[in-house]
């Protein structure tokens, strides 16, 4: 079933987030978002959900071997980091001069 409208998320590439669920759960350590996959509702976070991938030897990689890399996690398992409060923050959208801004609900700071 196709969705009628594209989902809107408060998390963007380059944002600082904390992982609030899963094996890498740590609400005190902010991490950087590398990529947001809107279609699959997943994010790629630096240093989170590390998997081992076994590679066959090929023309580009003549040795092959085992490579560790990050796998995407669901967007609901991360929360934006509020630098002023030094805590995870819920976000609301505020329109200002025709632009939509993300604002922390707790501190009122722009993110």
H or E element: which one contains 55? strand 50-55
Q: Please give the pLDDT value at position 1.
A: 54
Three-state secondary-structure class, residue 96: strand
Model pTM? 0.85
**Largest interatomic CA distance in the chain:** 56
Give pLDDT tens digits for 60-76: 889 989 999 999 999 99
pLDDT digits (tens, 9 = 90+) for 5-55: 888 899 999 999 999 999 999 999 999 999 999 999 999 999 999 999 999
Query: Where in the chain are the domains?
Result: 16-81
Return all residues near 6 (Cβ < 8 A) that are at least 6 apart.
38
Residue with tokens 């998390």: 11
Which residue, 29, 30, 32, is CA-closest to 15? 32
């Amino acid at each position: 079933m196709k969705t009628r409208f594209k989902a809107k998320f408060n998390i963007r590439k380059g944002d600082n987030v904390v992982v609030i669920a899963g094996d890498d759960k740590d609400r005190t350590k902010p991490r950087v978002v590398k990529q947001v996959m809107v279609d699959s509702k997943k994010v790629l976070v630096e240093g989170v959900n590390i998997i081992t991938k076994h590679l066959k030897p090929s023309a580009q990689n003549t040795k092959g071997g085992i490579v560790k890399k990050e796998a995407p996690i669901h967007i609901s398992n991360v929360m934006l980091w509020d630098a002023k409060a030094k805590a995870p923050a819920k976000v609301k959208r505020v329109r200002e001069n025709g632009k939509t801004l993300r604002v922390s609900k707790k501190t009122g700071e722009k993110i």
